[in-house]
Amino acid sequence: MTVLFVNACLRGDESRTLTLCREYLEGIEDVKEVNLAELKLDPYYGGQVAFRAQLEAHDNYDDPLFDLAKDFAEADEIVIGAPYWDLSFPAALKIYVEHICAMGITFHYTDQGICEGMCQARHLTYITTCGGKVAGINFGYEYMCGLANMLGIPEVRFAVAEDLDVVGADIEANLNEARNTIAELRETR
């Protein structure tokens, strides 16, 4: 079984989100990590979109620009770790999404014109932390639900630690709440 870990915890070892992700992944063999802080992907602009589209139109998927999408499509399980930034997640993660949304690899259109996901993963686990209380609507998580739906991943699982930057908050207790969820998620992999 391959687990693809998309690490969007851009503060590296300082990141509380990354600590939670490592706890979820502990002891799991066959984890492939995509470290977005190291990759520093470029966003797609018109020229690259046109170049990729003509490759897709010819079913020509040999170009390395498709490698991230292939890994995403083939993984048995996806884990994404990202802090809550500006109501969702770091832009680096959105740019990664641009790279993996490759038609013919992670999704395609049926003859009836319906978008159909092509990914193998049985679930996507989204782990995040927030400075404040996001009060039930976490747009990072909501976005991932939409993405998973588009790419054919049937389940999205979620662990969050909130109130990590609030003065006087019991940060360790807030992290422990997420740890409890993570322990349950590990049991139901």
Ligand X SMILES: Cc1cc2nc3c(=O)[nH]c(=O)nc-3n(C[C@H](O)[C@H](O)[C@H](O)COP(=O)(O)O)c2cc1C
Of 17 and 125, CB closest to ligand X: 17
CA 40 to chain CA centroid, nearest Å: 16
Shortest spacing between CB 14 and ligand X, in angstroms:
6
Of 134 and 185, CB closest to ligand X: 134
- Reported as half-sphere exposure (CB side, CA atoms, 13 A), residue 2 has a value of 14
What does the buried/exposed string (b/e) look like for 71-99 if buried means 16 or more CB atoms within 10 Å of the residue's CB? bbbebebbbbbbbbbeebbbebbebbbbb
- Taking phi first (over 0 means left), then psi (-120 to 50 degrees means alpha), and beta for anything else, what does residue 136 get? left
Binding of ligand X by 84 (CB under 6 A): yes
Alpha helices in the chain (DSSP H): 16-25, 36-39, 46-57, 67-74, 91-100, 139-151, 171-187
Binding of ligand X by 176 (CB under 6 A): no
Shortest spacing between CB 40 and ligand X, in angstroms:
17
3-class secondary structure, 27:
coil
Of 12 and 154, CB closest to ligand X: 12
Binding of ligand X by 164 (CB under 6 A): yes
3-class secondary structure, 30:
coil
- When binding is defined by CB under 6 A, the residue of 125, 129, 138, 174 that contacts ligand X is 129
Query: Pattern 8-27, binding to ligand X, x per CB under 6 A?
Result: -x-x---xxxx---------
- When binding is defined by CB under 6 A, the residue of 43, 132, 146, 154 that contacts ligand X is 132
Q: Which residues bind ligand X (CB under 6 A)?
A: 9, 11, 15-18, 83-87, 129-132, 134, 164-165
